[in-house]
Structure 1
């Protein structure tokens, strides 16, 4: 089975929320689902409390021992798909990744036709409601990926 990496900036809000949602909804598609940040603190840290609370409101949870981590470009080859929250994340990773891994790096919203090309907004500096908006976007992307997998249209090289 395939491996999936979800990437945001610091790996404390969007990507850990995506990890929790995708683990709950896409376990039949991906054997490994993990998250990391392009600029995550190398010492690691917990998920943002507001992100954890939003996940709980939507009946998801982050694993108790979860810690943030930084993307290691040299390890991108171990993932069949790398979904980023912002186009800037894709550009950063493609600059550091081996050329044969560039196609694996995709914007998460490109899997949701009505959101294609949009960045997943960073709720960190906004109101708490922003976390719920992001969860809705992540759920739609997870639903779409599951549908594409079941229809045989999800290509995981």
Structure 2
């Protein structure tokens, strides 16, 4: 698995934070990472609070939103969504993606409610909490990717 796509709604909060955080965690390891939104308006910057949270964590970021399309579906080895509704939307509109789309929390084995709440329009504290939830999943993902069974995921 070398190409990971994170997906949320507008591609201005959760998925850009996940993309930047994962890129920082795996720098130099050969992973390609992008993000997109199921209802994004292309070219928008990440939200002010999302950028502030990344700055607080010392994570570099430069983001312009992208709408999920067939090109991104084809590019990715795995698609990790922020919610079950994102996952189901992708499965409905892009059936070819079904074998490679999961919620982020589902993919890394976090039991129970698999959604990462949308902080859009909320306070900075909401974005910090969202980043903590994402980081917990990304920490697990980083460990998983060290397992040889997952290195070949998407190479079939």
- The alpha-carbon deviation at position 143 of structure 1 amounts to 1.2
**Aligned-CA RMSD value:** 1.9
Asked if residue 141 in structure 1 is aligned to residue 141 in structure 2, the reply is: no
TM-score between both structures, scaled by the size of structure 1: 0.88
Name the structure 2 match of 1:10. Answer: 10
2:27 & 2:112 partners in 1: Cα distance?
A: 24
TM-score between both structures, scaled by the size of structure 2: 0.88
Name the structure 2 match of 1:57. Answer: 56
1:121 & 1:53 partners in 2: Cα distance?
A: 18
Structure 2 residue runs without a partner (length 5+): none
1:73 & 1:59 partners in 2: Cα distance?
A: 33
1:29 & 1:102 partners in 2: Cα distance?
A: 27
Please tell me whether the aligned partners of residues 73 and 96 of structure 1 are also in contact (alpha carbons under 8 angstroms).
Answer: no
1:26 & 1:118 partners in 2: Cα distance?
A: 23
Structure 1 residue runs without a partner (length 5+): none
Deviation per CA, 1:18-77, whole angstroms, max 9, x where unpaired?
A: 1110101124555310101000013x21110111001111121312xx211100035412
1:29 & 1:110 partners in 2: Cα distance?
A: 23
Please tell me whether the aligned partners of residues 9 and 39 of structure 1 are also in contact (alpha carbons under 8 angstroms).
Answer: yes
SS of equivalent residue, structure 1 residue 4:
strand
Please tell me whether the aligned partners of residues 83 and 115 of structure 2 are also in contact (alpha carbons under 8 angstroms).
Answer: yes
SS of equivalent residue, structure 2 residue 80:
strand
Count of matched residue positions in the alignment of Structure 1 and Structure 2: 153
Please tell me whether the aligned partners of residues 109 and 116 of structure 1 are also in contact (alpha carbons under 8 angstroms).
Answer: no
Matches within 5 A, 1:6-155: 6-28=6-28, 30-42=30-42, 44-63=43-62, 66-99=63-96, 101-154=97-150
Distance 1:120 1:29, change over 3 A: farther
2:108 & 2:122 partners in 1: Cα distance?
A: 24
